[in-house]
Structure 1
Amino acid sequence: MTSFDTVVMVDWSAGNDRGPRPTKDAIWIGVQRGAAAEEPVYQRNRQEAEGWLEAFLTSERAEGRRVLVGFDFPFGYPAGFAAALCGSSDPLDLWDWFEARIEDDPKANNRFDLAAEINLGLGSGQGPFWFNTLSRDIEGLPRNKDGYANPFPAKRRCEDLASGAFTCWQMGGAGAVGGQVMMGLPVLARLRRKLEVAVWPFQPLNAPIGFVEIWPSLTAGPAPEGMIKDAWQVQQIARQVAQLPSARLDALLDVDAPEEGWIFGLGHEDELRADALPPLRNDCFALPPGVHWTPVSEAHDLLKQRLSAVTQTETVPLGEATGRIAALAVLAVRANPPLPNTAVDGYGFAGGRGAGAHELPLVAGRAAAGDAPGAVPEGQAIRVLTGAALPDGVDTVILQEDVVLTDGAVRFSGPVKAGANTRKAGEDVVAGQEIVTAGRKITPADLALLAATGVSEVSVRRRLKVGVISTGDELVEPGEAARDGQIYDANRPMLLALTEQFGHVPVDLGRVPDNRETLRGRLDNAAQDVDVILTSGGASAGDEDHVSALLQEAGAMALWRMAIKPGRPLALGLWQGVPVFGLPGNPVAALVCALIFARPAMAVLSGAGWSDPQGVEVPAAFAKSKKAGRREYLRARLRNGQAEVFASEGSGRISGLSWAEGLVELPEPAAEIKPGDMVRYVPFGSFGLAG
């Protein structure tokens, strides 16, 4: 199946140099590597854009990544034009023909003169190209369609199907696709010569780099307020295409248009729009003005509102779907049971029977599970075994224990209710019924249901890749010699294990000393490989708190002072588009913040949606005087139906984490808790952790 590591989408322009300041109607490039979307790239002219593309594609190939590149202009002309112009119907020969004749620099080009030359060469001088916008007249290129004569179709077949698409013969004015094509094909021809490129749909996309034709207006919605439409659209299209599972990408590429070319996604617009994930904005963690101490419930609401799934989708066989997040709702291929069948071993016949004795002759043979249904004449019975499809003429079964066999007949006493001991077709699930919802983590029980209803493969989210970094000069690895003042790194092993139990892919990003540039490099590398980064330590506002300092420097950071104990500082931000959760350095606080904030947030990012842990009200086996203001989480376990809490609330007592089997959650108001008072206990299993 076809797959790409990086998706690049280009909004092209036939205009002159637009200057250094980003503007509309210029060249914009959207890039998505895996789940990480980059800021749209502005290019002031075609020469700079060509150089940028060549350098970018060369770099991606050096890193071993396959790249899909989309350009928003036609790759071919209506049928017959290529052969008339260059003697070959191969559109790639036409690319080379234009590349040999187009003259282009940032301030001028010869596209109008070349269009006129083509018109005159084809005989009429009045077509197929039209619309000269220059101040000078050009023989052979009409200023408008007066007297226009076109020997070729006005549009390609795909443009006839794409409502609102412009013709490639128009050289100027609004919708001047003709100018874009003529100024774009030479660039593509040169990139083809320099790089290993396959062009769709003229060639199979089995080269390291694939070129496809796009039309952003096909699937990209309106831009957010304050964002240039072209920039927004290339970012959206890159995201839509990057999220396609390999099987769906193959389906969209299955097009036969060997001369004219085709618009990628045409006919699949609703699917692409529906699967589009909104980008994480740089302000997704920003707090409202005036907020200092953030209550837990308010933090949860803000995270729910501002985060969205970042994982791509893929199609996997049923046997590989356990624990994966369903990307789309799954529908039953067929009913369960597919046919009416018997629930018991016994004898089947049509209709019920009233009170009294009954005798029915038996037909030869029997109906067993897996047998094709036969037929039973009216007034006769047949031997049936549990799970067998009911033969025609059978809708009722009597248990074998309730009958007597004699002389090829079955005798029993009524009454027997019509339909007894049978299952109706589809009484469990009907064909086409939704059996797994999008966002559900697929369980072994789900596999049974999917298999029973004929589902063999499932569209799932790729597992969220979570990188874990520990920071601090004081840390050493377990097993190493620790000097006075140094401690062993307890957080990284804990957070990596938590990540795995949450169902994500843990990526050990190692330990980083208190050096800002070293941390910057580690974050730079991590952003290319993971979907989320968890750090511990350095999340406050001191001189050595480099996590928060770097996120602040990147312009995408919020320091949330949480009204929670243990915990408080939680640095949240984006690094090159990748969410970063800066957890406290204390292991107890790091665990609590990971469970209360990072776990549900990562569930959203993975495509599973927000989930709150389930707690139970139980009597307290402790006494506590709680101050108002913060929500507190006490390390706890259940014994004899009561919640015990660890002897010390000190955040440095790591042994309490191992002792505990869950948390007691105490809300923000002040409270005097006495033994026997009801408290909320949340077992670790409710957070998705194994016992």
Structure 2
Amino acid sequence: MNVKSYEDTLAFLSSYVRPAAETEIRKLSDALGFVLAENLISNLDLPRFNNSAMDGWAFGSENIQPESFTLTCVGSAFAGHPYEGKLRPGECIRIMTGAEVPEGADTVVKQEIVTSEGSLVTFPAGVRKNENVRFCGEEVQQGSVCLKAGIKLRSAHMNFLAAVGVKEVVVYRKLKVGFFSTGDELIGVEETISEGKIYDSNRYCIKAMIEEAGFEPVDFGRFPDNEQKIKDGVLQAAVLCDAIITSGGVSVGEADFTRDVVLSNGELVDWKCLIKPGKPLAIGKVRNAYFFGLPGNPTAAQVTFHAIVSLALRRLSGEINPTLKMSLAYAGADNLKKKPGYTEFQRGVLEVRNGRICVIPAGSQKTGAMRSMVDANCFIFLPEQQGAVHEGDLLRVVSFYGLYS
């Protein structure tokens, strides 16, 4: 079994995993969470016309004086109800936020700093040309690329694309990710526990992680330690799904049949990835479906999915160069233990102390500790060469609320 660093593992996946080729056309309202399969061209300028950024008074910049100056109000403009006509020197209009700035005007002064008496409006010194005007096409120009292929659509994209008149988009279809468990010792949570049995917790977690990542989970159930039944399940999953995930069952143990099934019906690249918790990792293909074998330990399985497999699935779904979203936080304690040689994803809790974002360990960092994963709200990313951590050190963290953004 090969030994590879975390960075080497990600580099391998970037060349090994290729995006699923199938695309579909979806209405914009039904495209949230899908990945764009082609560049989007804007149908119009954004903004569509020069408009006011606030309530105030609009006029031409030729009227601006070093000191205060007075203009004559000749009308008004509201959103959807523009001023009809062209402003001449010495004139201004009352204008509301979003209203079209009329011909002859290029500057808006907010209402709070002007004084008016009848039709005469006095402006203070210091007015600047073009202020408080959103100019036509300053964000996007008609015919230009407004979003590039490979972007996963979020709510902000819905707003943006609707604003430029996009009705439908070409996207990669949502991945189907099959998963199953193997082992005579496993039972479902609906069953009564008995001697020598354990609950099949990983299968419930894997399903949830697949859904959280934005993919469609397909549950193939639980297989006993029987090579023919595992083979039947793997081959069925390979036909119906884009990827297959299992946990445990891919080591060189006597009853680890999943490994032999994958090798006999596809290809398997397995190694020890130098991450904690984690390490055992199997990557391969069965027919056209990618295969990912996670460690059997529940916490290690979660870390390996989030740190490695989720990125591979995002690449498979069509995302361009997916990465974990990291931010910075100060170590809030001296009890983060780390030795060089492994990349660690410690479970942490982000909190604010004296105006600074700090992170502390979320309880036990033992591989088998499950409670700390529940109490954590982030991973503390400690690179391979990182040694001991001291309070006040600046660390990278991966918020659980930003894993897939």
Q: With CA pairs under 8 Å and 6+ residues apart, which has the higher RCO, 1 or 2?
A: 2
In the alignment, structure 1 residue 561 sits paired with structure 2 residue 277? no
- Pair member with larger Rg: 1
Aligned partners of 2:174 and 2:216 also within 8 Å: yes
Q: Quick one: which amino acid aligns to residue 345 of structure 2?
A: Y
Alignment partner of 1:668 is 2:379 = no
Residues 390 and 509 of structure 1, relative CA distance in 2, 3 Å threshold: same
Q: Which residue of 2 aligns with 1:654?
A: 370
Equivalent in 305, 318, 324 of residue 607 of structure 1: 318
**1:326 correspondence with 2:36:** yes
C-alpha distance in 2 between matches for 1:646 and 1:604: 30
How far the C-alpha of 1:598 sits from its partner, in A, is: 0.5
**Distance in 2, Cα, partners of 1:361 & 1:619:** 59
Residue-by-residue CA offset, 1:432-467 (whole Å, 9 max, x unaligned):
333222211222122222122222222222111111
Length, aligned pairs only: 395
Indicate the residue corresponding to 1:301 in structure 2: 11
Paired with 2:394 and 2:121, the residues of 1 have a C-alpha distance of 63
Which residue of structure 1 lines up, in the alignment, with residue 134 of structure 2?
423
2:349 counterpart of 1:637: yes
Provide the C-alpha distance between the structure 2 equivalents of 1:527 and 1:592, rounded to a whole number of angstroms: 24
Q: Can you give the 5+ residue segments of structure 1 that lack an aligned partner in the other structure?
A: 1-290
1:590 CA displacement: 0.9
- Unaligned stretches of 5+ residues in structure 2: none
After TM superposition, give the deviation of residue 411 of structure 1 in Å.
4.2
Quick one: which of 116, 133, 146 aligns to 1:404?
116
Residue 386 of structure 1 deviates from its aligned partner by 2.5
1:328-357 CA-to-partner distances (Å, cap 9, x unmatched) read 222221112211123343444443243565
SS at match of 2:35: coil
CA distance in 2, matches of 1:361, 1:638: 55
Displacement of 1:680: 4.0
**TM-score when scaled to structure 1?**
0.53
Cα 1:591–1:399 shift into 2, 3 Å: closer
Tell me how far apart the structure 1 counterparts of residues 276 and 123 of structure 2 sit (CA, whole Å).
72
Q: Which residue of 2 aligns with 1:573?
A: 284
Contact 1:397/1:419, CA 8 A, preserved across alignment? yes
Corresponding position of 2:166: 455
Partner of 2:24: 314
Alpha-carbon distance in structure 2 between the residues aligned to 1:342 and 1:647: 53
CA, structure 1 residues 478+385, in 2 after alignment: closer, same or farther (shift >3 Å)? same
Taking a change above 3 Å as real, the CA distance of residues 391 and 664 of structure 1, as seen in their structure-2 partners, is closer
Q: 8 Å contact 2:330–2:391 — kept in the other structure? A: no
Q: Is the 8 A contact 1:619 1:676 kept in 2?
A: yes
Report the CA distance shift for 1:682/1:423 in structure 2 as closer, same or farther (over 3 A): closer
2:87 touches 2:102 (CA, 8 Å); kept in 1?
no
Work out the CA distance in 1 between the residues paired with 2:109 and 2:365.
Answer: 66
Q: Distance in 2 between matches of 1:309 and 1:506?
A: 18
Report deviation, 1:626: 4.5
Higher helix residue share? 1
1: CA distance, partners of 2:371 / 2:110:
61
Contact 2:329 2:359 in 1 (8 A): no
CA contact (8 A) 1:376 1:382 kept: no
Which position in structure 2 is the counterpart of 1:621? Answer: 333
CA contact (8 A) 1:349 1:376 kept: no
Report sequence identity in percent: 33
Tell me which residue corresponds to 1:77.
Answer: none
Partner of 1:367: 77
* SS of aligned partner of 1:556: strand
Cα 1:502–1:381 change in 2 (3 A) is same
1:565–1:630 CA contact under 8 A, matched in 2: yes
- TM-aligned CA deviation for residue 400 of structure 1: 4.9
1:466 pairs with one of 142, 161, 177: 177
How far off is 1:474 after superposition?
Answer: 0.6
CA contact (8 A) 1:532 1:578 kept: yes
Give 1:433's aligned residue. Answer: 144
**Could you tell me which amino acid in structure 2 is paired with residue 655 of structure 1?**
R
Shift of residue 574 of structure 1? 0.8
1:545 corresponds to which of 256, 276, 299? 256
- Equivalent-residue separation in structure 1 for 2:279 and 2:397 (angstroms): 21
Greater percentage in strand: 2
**Matched residue type, 2:72:** L
Per the alignment, residue 594 of structure 1 pairs with 305
Any idea what SS the aligned residue of 1:514 has?
coil
* Higher mean displacement: 345-354 or 534-543: 345-354
Question: Is residue 470–residue 510 contact of structure 1 (8 Å, CA) maintained in 2?
Answer: yes
Matching residue's letter, 2:373: L
Match of 2:221 in 1: 510
1:585 to 279, 285, 296: 296
Structure 2 vs 1, CA of residues 654 and 412 (structure 1 numbering), >3 Å: closer, same or farther?
A: closer
Equivalent residue for 1:339, pick from 23, 44, 49: 49
- The 5 A counterparts of 1:172-571 are 292-350=2-60, 351-354=62-65, 355=67, 358-360=70-72, 362=74, 366-371=76-81, 374-376=84-86, 378-379=88-89, 380-400=91-111, 402-406=114-118, 409-412=119-122, 417-571=128-282
Deviation by residue 1:274-321 (Cα, 9 ceiling, x = unmatched): xxxxxxxxxxxxxxxxx7211111111111122111152222222222
